[in-house]
Amino acid sequence: MLLPKIALAQINTLVGGVNQNVEKIIAFASKAKEQLSADLVVFPELAITGYPPEDLLLRPSFLELSDQGIEQLLELSNQVALLLGAPRTSEDGLHNCALLLANGEIQAQYSKYELPNYSVFDEKRYFLAGSKPCVFELAGVNIGITICEDIWKECAVEASVDAGAQLVININSSPFHAGKVAERYHLVANKARKLNCPIIYVNQVGGQDELLFDGGSFCVNADGALMQRCECFSEQLDFVQVTQSQDSNTSFALDAGTVAAELDEHASIYQALVMGVRDYVEKNGFPGVIIGLSGGIDSALTAAIATDALGSDRVAVVMMPFYYTSKMSMEDAESEAKALDIEYHVVPIEPMYKAFMQELTPLFDDVSSDVTEQNIQARCRGVLLMALSNKNGYMVLTTGNKSEMAVGYATLYGDMVGGYSAIKDVPKMMVYELAKYRNSISQAIPERIITRPPSAELAPDQIDEDSLPPYEVLDAILELYIEDDVSPRLIVEQGFAEDTVYRVVNMVDRNEYKRRQAAPGVRISRRAFGRDRRYPITSGFKKILPGS
């Protein structure tokens, strides 16, 4: 009995780029048929439109374009069957669907049961939920279709097996966060064991604005054993062969294939940041990026990520020294630029700063210097970077990390200017870890940048701890408050100083207005600023210190 060979097409789609996505589907499907002799090629969720299409789904012309894309693929389905995701309109409304295209027609259509409406997801804004399982027969095997969130809940996969599925395929657009690969595998393996049914899990790969999809498609047998896994952070076409099961309790199994090694935490986060920057720049058509290289750890890591993402010929950096810029910073910035072989410029900001102060001093009414003058320095640098961006078309990459963005340790229209942020969701302590990881590949970031105390160098002998708690303490408090929604009182009960906790929490809350104006950036945590965490700027909800 000839059992089906199923290809897993882990592709990087472009949201809204229906024609480009269809071309890619055709290319991968043709290769799967010609080189792998596949009987079925499985693509990710909403592969036709890219995920998430957001309010494009509200445009009738966009849905028409999606339908036209499906029609283009029907001819190809005479050669090889395709299973892919697309939005489909029915009498009751719009559904997030998986379509089986075979023999020149749509032979099966499944509507996603579970519509996620939390974290970065808002599918209930657009779609109606399905309520019926879909099982089709391929070369004697009954295959059930499910989509992404369906496998995380108790209903859709179970209904598919109850309807006779002997193998379940789950197509996905599952975003990355640190630890997600292992989390997915354990979930799917447990589901397979519970239902005594092999599962094929196909995920998309690539960056889409702040979201990053890591791929990592895989297959498990009914006992939960991992039989095949694709690489993360790259497009891939692989296959799995369905065979007769040796277990009398289940009819079919999956042959062992190539199992890519699981990346460690630092490698996976770093590769996610590189892919996020590359796809944002490439998909938006920028020729390259420009970065303010200060000699500090954040801009140093950002420059390394950008170079690995785009190549040294598409990255330019500018050192913009002032009175308080140390000789060490100047030396280290130049040293890194040479190590990365990127374009390097030095533009002092002293003349600009003096011109601003000459005009502003009469208006300051002899008020002593404060953070205002520091912000003017940062804004001089922002003007320079944006001027260079306007002139050569390079996009400015901002360099602020998650810890700084959380507490507002950044200057609006200064160091916050730019189109995208590589490390916006990376806490400060992880910045150091990633710098060490990058240097383990090849020496790129001078050791002094990693070991010296961090400083904005906006005032004499300034270090970050003049204004903030030590970063190891700050990051721990921020993770509890931002990612886990732990109340200040309970954070204090975990052993943190009460005045420090409430100081940090108040800084987070009052700087929402800054974050709302910040550039988008790669999401690598369970809860990033932006789509994940939507707090009002104007709010009367306060966390009052006990006894105050």
Enzyme catalytic residues: 45, 112, 148
CB atoms within 10 A of CB 361: 10
Show Cβ contacts of residue 293 under 8 Å, excluding neighbours closer than 6 positions. 299, 300, 303, 317, 318, 319, 333, 336, 337, 344
Pairing of strands 343-346, 315-319: parallel
Q: What are the Cα distances from residue 84, in Å, to 42, 73, 91, 278?
A: 6, 11, 22, 25
Residue 184 φ then ψ, to 5°: -65, -45
Report the distance separating Cα 205 and Cα 202, nearest Å.
Answer: 10
| 518, HSE (Cβ side, Cα atoms, 13 Å) | 33
Residue type, 328: M
E strands present in 215-305: 218-220, 226-229, 236-244, 252-254, 289-292
Spatial distance between the Cα atoms of 67 and 49, rounded to a whole number of angstroms: 10
Q: What is the dihedral of CA 180, 514, 449, 434, to 10 degrees?
A: 0
CB 290 within 8 A of CB 260: no
From CA 334, how far away is CA 299, in angstroms rounded?
12
- Residues with Cβ within 8 Å of 429's Cβ and at least 6 positions away in sequence, in order, are 403, 471, 472, 475
